[in-house]
Amino acid sequence: MLNLTLHRIETGDWIAFVDESRARLGGTANPSLMPAYYLYAVLPKIGGCGLTVQRDGQTCGYGFLFPRHLEGDVQVYTLRYHPLLGAPPVDPDELSDQTACLLERTCRIVFYDPYAAHSYPATHQTIGDLDFGRPNAAEAADVRTIHQVVWNNPPEVLYPVDMHSAEFGLATSLVARANGQTAGFLLGMTKFDGVELPARWQELLRHRVRLESQTMAVLPQFRERRIAFLLKKVQAEQAQAAGIDIINWTADPLQFPNAALNFTRLGAVAYTAHPALYALHNDLNQVIASRFSLTWLVGSRRVQERLSGAGSAAVVNLAGRTEIVRVNDGPSATNFEAQSATIALEIPADWTALQQHDLSLAQRWRETTDRLFASYLGIGRGQYIITNAGTDGERRFLVGERVTDNLLESLI
C-alpha cells in the first residue's frame, strides 16, 4: 500500500515541497523537471498540486498533477511522476487510483512517465506563407531552444521537451513554421476555474475549464510577420473547438509592445495585477517580476471581430484627449483620486532598454505602477479595467475604462 501526501498552496507547505522534490530529483541537472518558478506560482494557479509518494516509510518519488480536461463533471488530471533513483517502483494503476481517492472529488487520473518514449504527431494549418500546428519531436526540441534564445535563460528555467508529447496532453502546443524553420511557439495549459469574473460574464460564459496561456516567443529574424498574433488566433480557434470561452495569461504590464498586441489587436482585458509574482531574473526581467493577469473572452463578438479584422482596433492617440485623465507623469506625480470614465497610466517607452541602462529608474517605475494598479484595477463599481494601449508622441500608456454595466456588456 502506498502512502501519499498531497501538497497544495493552501496547505502552507507548497514551497517546501517544490524545493525538496526538485533537490532530490536532481534540480537544475534534470531537464525533465518543470521550472521552479512555474511550480511555485503557476501550477497552483491552474488547479494543480503535488504528491510525495512513499512505501514502508521510504520515499519512492514525487508527482505533479496537471489539469487535463473535463469529462462531464469529472475533472481529469495528468499525473507526472518522477521516481527517485534506486527507489522501489510503483504500480501506475495503484498510484492513479489512490491519488483519485485522495483528491476527494469526482476525478480521473492519467499516469504519465516523463522518461518513457513519447509520440509527437505534427499538425499543419497554413495561413499565408506560414504553417502553424503541433510540433514534431525535432520542433518540440526547437521550442526549448527558442525559449532560451529569446530570454537568454539558463537551462533550468526552460520547459521540458516532453511536455509537447501527445501523451502529456498539453492544451496548447503550437509552433509557427516559416521558410522551413521553427520561427516561434506558444504553449498553454488547461486550468480549472481561475480569476474572478463579473457576475454577468459568469452567467454567460463557460468558465469551469479555461486555458492558461503560458509562454510565447518569436525569433527576432521572423518578427514583423504577425506570427505572435496568428499563434494567438489559432489558439483561440482551438479553444473554441474544445468548448473553452476564456483564456488567461500573465504579462509584464510595462512592456508596451505586448500591451499593444494583447489589448488592442487581440481584445484581451486586465483587471488583476500581481506584484512580485515570479522570482525570475533574465534579460527581460532585471527588476521584480510583477504581472497582469489577462482575460481573453475568445467567444465574445469583440474578440472575434479583432481576430477577423472586422472590428476597428487602434492604439489610442492621447494627444489633446483631456477627458482621459493621466494618473501619473512617469514614475512620479501620481494621482490616486481619478474618477473619470477613462484613465491613462503611463509606462516606460522601452521597458527592456530601461532595465538594462538605468536599473534604479526602472525600479521606481515598477514600484509606482504597482501602486497604481493596486489602487485602480478591479471589477467593482468605480474600479477600472485595462482595455487598450495609448501613445502621445514618444510616451506610452495603458488605457483603463471605469466599470459600469454597459462596459461589462460591451466586452462580451
The 10s digit of each residue's pLDDT in 9-62 is 888 899 999 999 999 999 989 999 999 989 998 999 999 999 999 999 899 999
pLDDT over 90, % of the chain: 85
| Domain locations in the chain as residue ranges | 3-112, 125-308, 316-410
Give dist(CA 316, CA 305) in Å, integer: 18
Span 65-86, average pLDDT:
95
Phi, psi (degrees; rounded to nearest 5) at 174? -130, 140
pLDDT tens sequence across 77-104: 999 999 999 998 999 999 999 999 999 7
Judged by DSSP in three states, 144 sits in: helix
Q: Do domains 3-112 and 125-308 have the same CATH topology?
A: yes
For residues 241 and 123, is the Cβ–Cβ distance under 8 A? no
49: left (phi over 0), alpha (psi -120 to 50) or beta: beta
Does the domain formed by 125-308 have CATH 3.40.630.30? yes
pLDDT at 311: 63
Measure the CA–CA gap between 325 and 329, rounded to whole angstroms: 11
Strands 384-392 and 316-317: what pairing?
A: parallel
What residues have CB less than 8 Å from 250, skipping those under 6 apart? Answer: 274, 277, 291, 292, 293, 294
Give the type of residue at 272: T
Q: How confident is the model at residue 160 (pLDDT cuts 50, 70, 90)?
A: very high
> Is it the case that residue 286 has pLDDT exceeding 70?
no
Give pairs for 224-228: CB < 8 Å, separation 24+.
225/130, 225/178, 225/183, 227/130, 227/176, 227/178, 227/183, 227/184, 228/184, 228/261
Q: pLDDT: is 9 or 369 the higher one? A: 369
Query: What's the CA gap between 22 and 154, in Å, rounded?
Result: 16
What global pTM score does this model have? 0.92
Q: Which residue shows C-alpha cell 527507489?
A: 87
Assess contact for 256 and 232: CB atoms under 8 A.
no
296 DSSP β-pair partners: 247
pLDDT given at position 375? 97
Task: Give the residue among 95, 270, 354, 71 at the shortest CA–CA distance from 190.
Answer: 71
Q: Is 285 helix (H, G, I), strand (E, B) or coil?
A: strand
Q: Are 171 and 211 in contact (CB under 8 A)?
A: yes
3-state secondary structure of 230: helix
- Cβ-contact 118, 161 below 8 angstroms: no
Distance CA 87, CA 353 (A): 49
As a whole number of angstroms, the distance between CA 121 and CA 83 comes to 27
* Mean pLDDT, all residues of the chain: 93
**Looking at the predicted structure, is the pLDDT value of residue 303 above 60?**
yes
Out of 1.20.1440.230, 3.40.50.300, 3.40.50.460, 3.40.630.30, select the CATH number for domain 3-112. Answer: 3.40.630.30
**Is it the case that residue 396 has pLDDT exceeding 90?**
yes
